[in-house]
Structure 1
Amino acid sequence: MSNIAPFSRPTHAHVPTAAADLKPVTPSYPAAAQREAAAPVQPVAPAPETRGFALYVGLDTDTATADGVTLTEVVTALRRVLAERAPSASSYASVAFAPAGAPGDSIDLVRLALQEPGAVREQRAARQEEERAEEAKRSQAKVEIDTSRKRVLVQGENADFTYKEFELLQALVLREGRTVSREEIIDVLWRESHEERPHERTIDVHVRRLRQRLGDYADIVRTVRGIGYRFDRHADVRIVHSLAPSPDRH
Structure 2
Amino acid sequence: MSLALASAPTARTAPSISAAPVRAIADGAPIARLAAPAAELASPAPRVRAVPEGTEARGFVLYVGIDENKATEDGTTLHRIVEALRRLTAEVAPSAETYAAVALAPEGAGGRDVDVVRLALQDPAALAKQREAQGDVRDDSDRHPNGVIIDISRKRVLLDGEPAGLTYKEFELLQYLVLREGRTIDRHELIDSLWNADDEAPSERTIDVHVRRLRSKLAHYQDIVRTVRGLGYRFDRHADVSIRQASTPSPDVF
Q: Larger C-alpha radius of gyration, 1 or 2?
A: 1
Structure number with the higher helix fraction is 1
Q: Which has the higher strand share?
A: 2
The answer, yes or no, to whether TM exceeds 0.5 is no
Higher RCO (Cα < 8 Å, 6 or more apart): 2
Normalised by the length of structure 1, the TM-score is 0.44
